[in-house]
Structure 1
Amino acid sequence: MVRRTLSAVPPSRRRFLGIGAASAAAVALGTGLFPAPSHRSASASSYPFTLGVASGDPHPDGVVLWTRLAPDPLAPDGRGGMGDEEVTVRYQVATDERFSRVVHEGEAVASPELAHSVHPEITGLEPDREYFYRFQALGEISPVGRTRTAPDPRTEPALLRFAFVSCQKWDDGYYTAYRHLAEEDLDLVVHLGDYLYEYPVSGAIRQVEIPDYLATETETLEQYRVRYGLYKSDPDLQAAHARFPWIAVLDDHEVKNNWAGAHTGEAELARRAAAFQAYYENLPLRRSALPVGPAMGLHRRISWGQLADFTILDTRQYRDAHACHDGKSATCSARLNPGRSLLGTEQREWLLHGFETSPARWHVLGNQVPMTQSDLDPGPATRVWLDSWDGYVAERDLVLAEAAARGVRNLVVVTGDRHQNYAAELKADYADPDSATVGTEFVGTSISSSQDGQDLGEQGQALLAANPHLRFVNEQRGYARCFVTPELWQTDFRVVPYVTSPGAPVSTRASFVVEDGHPGLLEG
């Protein structure tokens, strides 16, 4: 094999730590904010929509659409087989899959500054309605995507159907769970992080030959772009994107394992800036999420009428450094320090203000790392992971106390990260076994990370023995499906028996119900 490597020379400080006028213009054109100049065009030697289409962040009057032109998604320079030219991309939105009634159309410019991705933000649509969309560029038409607008904020829908997912290491297994997810009848999908992994890639499980330049850890913008090209080429992931609008937020592996806040040197900030840009380029995110160097606006609220508010948290950018170390500990008293923060002051105040002002019946926190205490020692010691809320105990206690004090009717936290399914009751004080239950948390397993898994191993048994507030633990792969009505919330843990070979069936391993006004878990 001919060895091809990516440049390891770090780009200029300006490229990483700021956005110049040219990039700002590219963003405006790529979102369709301004009309696309008609002379901007190019040609490609093969199909440009190899990475599929997507939509996201539904509002009552519209959504953001996404595609990225990449006729050669694994090109080692990160360009996806595209050159330096800007390309006009046309898009249509219709009420039917055959596009006999087009209700919105326009143009955006795919520029090399943003890896020839476009993020047109569509407005003027009707609330709580299904739409179809497609793109056209370089003489080709994209696959058709389906999306949905959020309900009118003055109404309370009878039903919300969504799934939440996380942790999809490409070389740990097939994305069979996404194929089953795409066949569900849902309104939206929430992705809670670890969309990709920065580690060197192996082709052993998928039985493919991996180029040498993918068998290295991602550090540069070019490397992150190629890694997204690999992950997004998966047809099952594309099917899930094309079927539903997504609400996405990153965790750690989109950058580097267990990174924390701004507690790092310039080289690491440069790496973070590259990772953030590639993340924006490859997800259906609004321009409000556009990164400026190593900073990115990801925490936000999305309402589903007055039935539910999704409060999407960012538990990476603003956190204090890990207490003691970032592994598991039974002796780290620093994790109890009252000044430690996972959210940062501004985001925490924003969260608490939302508790007070939200009219929603169900307040949903989209959260990257488990909030519930997850003790691994069934004996008298408390041994916990320090990367989760267990490493920031005072702030967890404050958030839960304020949710109760500010009148949150039903607090439900949905979480990724752990490669395990949990159903947990959130306690006001984990040091007191009789403490009040103030909310509910559902932790979802991985799509493929950690390979096949098992129903319940030694670690899961230890968690159940040590944590009476944990009602369920499972260690298989899959996703969580939620049905929400004004009267109750039901979470189904959907699992596949294996991911190291294709074609696994899906089943519901367990279901749990939360009743309106009554925090705590009932078996479904």
Structure 2
Amino acid sequence: MTITTDPPQHSPELRAAARHIGRRRFLTGTGAAAALAFAVNLPAAGTASAAQLDPREITDDPFTLGVASGDPLPDSVLLWTRLAPAPYQPDSGLPAQRVTVHWELAHDEAFTRIARRGAAIAYPEFHHSVHVEAGGLDADRVYHYRFRAGTWISDAGRTRTAPAPGAAASSLTFAAVSCQSYTDGYFTPYRHLAQDDVDVVFHLGDYLYEYAVNSVGGYRNYTDRTLPGLFNRETVTLEDYRLRYALFKSDPDLRAAHAAHPFVVTWDDHETENNYADDTPENSVPPEEFLLRRAAAYRAYWENQPLRRPQRPAGPDMQLYRRLKWGSLAQFDVLDTRQYRSNQAYGDGAQLPGPEIDDPARTMTGATQERWLLGGWRESTALWNVVPQQVVFSQRRFDLTTPSRVSMDAWDGYRASRRRVLDGAKAAGIENLMVLTGDVHVGYGFDIKDDFDAPDSATLGTEIVATSIASGRDGADRPANWDTYLKANPHLRFYNGRRGYVTVALGQELARADFKTVPYVTTPGAPVSTAASFVTQVGEQGLKPA
């Protein structure tokens, strides 16, 4: 895959106000009252920690959070790990010193044919995370990787590079996942995904939840362990967010999925706070204070995800939207629909629509990201143009009445913004458009209509909505509103309320989507099955049963 990015957008006045806070209090403050104790910009790696720890002094396994890879390019891939001998402690069991970590990339699982190797520094400023951009690799190739710190060797991971630019790739299979609430159940779908044959995984948001986690892990209801009390509070400080990632990433099923496949990640709201919009929080906290919390959340996100250097945050700003390509077969425009959006109209829940949702001044993506998306489509030569993003794009009417309530947090609450995107796709001649979505804890399959209120209007693309990994607990095949939704939305082709994930196989003639679900997550070990399969033909958009 090739990646392009665009400069971040800024709110200069608010961001300037967030830069005059002391660094020490940012690192050590806890609780809601410490929100104003955040420093937005920490020093560059290495400037604050001259001391170096001899890795032979690490007495416990530092690779408790596993390994990961991401954003594959034709000649490189990002390799990630974080050293944490004691992951449930604020310092992760390491002193504030640099640690040298060695890495190697091999052609085979036994690591007898080494392709590349090197060393990286795990800096305490970045919570001893490691982001290695391993380059000089062959295109369209599977690799195996691992890390070493002192005498400790990590689990091995499997990753791959993308086809060469413009290469006539015949196929690509990817998975889409979202929404993994730790307290709602086990991450069983990830165990099955780890064993699935996919090239790359797209995580569409809510990798983390900010809410308190009690001593038994909520609905996991642990009887063999007790979680520390420091998890039993909402995440506010940098320390809070770092510890919450440690809890989530210590899950063995999530670790298995990361080790098995490269991930391409984007966030939604819960990585920071529920339903926030740009610098507007869910509650009445002033924007300048919320930006400080956002800075902490964004920093912890980058530290704990397989992201490249251009995605490293600068205070409360982080360039997350980016473009990746898979030869001539597919272009992926990964969106960020949280950081730049206008505040929700009429509240952030299900509401009757009003004139504000059609206000052209309101935006889901921000003006810069919107121009970047439409410009990328105009230049695209890919057969498939796929948009991994967060919230439901298609119209979703909740009632059989007219007017009907719709979600103000989804694209229904930003109808003018959606209209510009659809008009941009038409103007660019995009014939095979696919939108990937998370957020709603159910699986949907939509036909994207030119006019959602006119069922006979042209179908411009398809939307595949991945259900949650665990959020919403066990769910049901047919939620209580199943019949209403299908009647109210004739472009809705599939609806299922179980937990799981979606795999999509892109080919030269069609794409096939398989909605994979498990019957329960509140106890471990559930089997997986395919709830439904659909295809959409090249040049003839719309979902049909496979």
Bucket of the pairwise TM-score, normalised by the shorter protein = over 0.9
**Number of the residue aligned with 1:33:** none
| Counterpart secondary structure, 1:458 | coil
Report if aligned partners of 2:63, 2:84 keep a CA contact under 8 Å in 1: yes
Residue deviations 1:394-442, cap 9 Å, x none?
1101111210121112100010001011110111122333221111101
TM-score where L is the length of structure 1: 0.94
Q: Quick one: distance in 2 between partners of 1:133 and 1:508?
A: 31
| Counterpart secondary structure, 2:117 | strand
**Number of the residue aligned with 1:229:** 246
- Per mean C-alpha deviation after superposition, the further-off stretch among 209-218 and 48-57 is 209-218
Q: How does 1:397-476 map to 2 (within 5 A)?
A: 397-476=419-498
Q: Quick one: distance in 2 between partners of 1:347 and 1:323?
A: 21
Report if aligned partners of 1:88, 1:108 keep a CA contact under 8 Å in 2: yes
Q: Which amino acid aligns with 2:399?
A: D
Report if aligned partners of 1:451, 1:499 keep a CA contact under 8 Å in 2: yes
1:41 CA displacement:
4.6
Report if aligned partners of 2:431, 2:460 keep a CA contact under 8 Å in 1: no
Q: Quick one: distance in 1 between partners of 2:276 and 2:206?
A: 12
Q: 1:7 aligns with which of 30, 45, 70?
A: 30
Q: Quick one: distance in 2 between partners of 1:16 and 1:396?
A: 36
Identity %: 50
Q: How does 1:19-30 map to 2 (within 5 A)?
A: 19-20=42-43, 22-23=44-45
**Number of the residue aligned with 1:125:** 137
**Number of the residue aligned with 2:64:** 50
1:240 aligns with 2:257: yes
Q: Quick one: distance in 1 between partners of 2:504 and 2:46?
A: 39
1:38 CA displacement:
8.7
1:253 CA displacement:
0.2
**Cα distance change of structure 1 residues 48 and 349 upon mapping to structure 2, 3 Å threshold:** same
**Number of the residue aligned with 1:488:** 510
1:334 CA displacement:
1.4
Report if aligned partners of 2:56, 2:151 keep a CA contact under 8 Å in 1: no
**Number of the residue aligned with 1:293:** 315
Q: Quick one: distance in 1 between partners of 2:479 and 2:501?
A: 19
Q: How many residues align?
A: 508
**Cα distance change of structure 1 residues 331 and 389 upon mapping to structure 2, 3 Å threshold:** closer
Q: 2:410 aligns with which of 379, 383, 388?
A: 388
1:95 aligns with 2:112: no
Instruction: Could you tell me which runs of 5 or more consecutive residues in structure 2 were left unpaired when the two chains were aligned.
Output: 1-27, 281-285
Q: 1:256 aligns with which of 273, 278, 284?
A: 273
Report if aligned partners of 1:364, 1:411 keep a CA contact under 8 Å in 2: yes
1:83 aligns with 2:124: no
Q: Quick one: distance in 2 between partners of 1:24 and 1:246?
A: 28
Q: Which amino acid aligns with 1:222?
A: E
**Number of the residue aligned with 1:214:** 231
- Moved beyond 4 Å, runs of 4+: 36-42
**Number of the residue aligned with 1:32:** none
Q: 1:511 aligns with which of 489, 512, 533?
A: 533
Residue deviations 1:83-120, cap 9 Å, x none?
11110000000101111111111111101110100001
TM-score where L is the length of structure 2: 0.90
Q: Quick one: distance in 1 between partners of 2:115 and 2:431?
A: 38
Instruction: Could you tell me which runs of 5 or more consecutive residues in structure 1 were left unpaired when the two chains were aligned.
Output: 30-35
**Number of the residue aligned with 2:82:** 68
| Counterpart secondary structure, 1:489 | strand
Q: Quick one: distance in 1 between partners of 2:487 and 2:431?
A: 30
Give the superposed CA RMSD. 1.9
Q: 2:348 aligns with which of 312, 318, 326?
A: 326
**Number of the residue aligned with 2:327:** 305
**Cα distance change of structure 1 residues 326 and 439 upon mapping to structure 2, 3 Å threshold:** same
Report if aligned partners of 2:105, 2:115 keep a CA contact under 8 Å in 1: yes
Q: Quick one: distance in 1 between partners of 2:268 and 2:446?
A: 21
Q: Quick one: distance in 2 between partners of 1:274 and 1:455?
A: 38
**Number of the residue aligned with 1:18:** 41
**Number of the residue aligned with 2:501:** 479
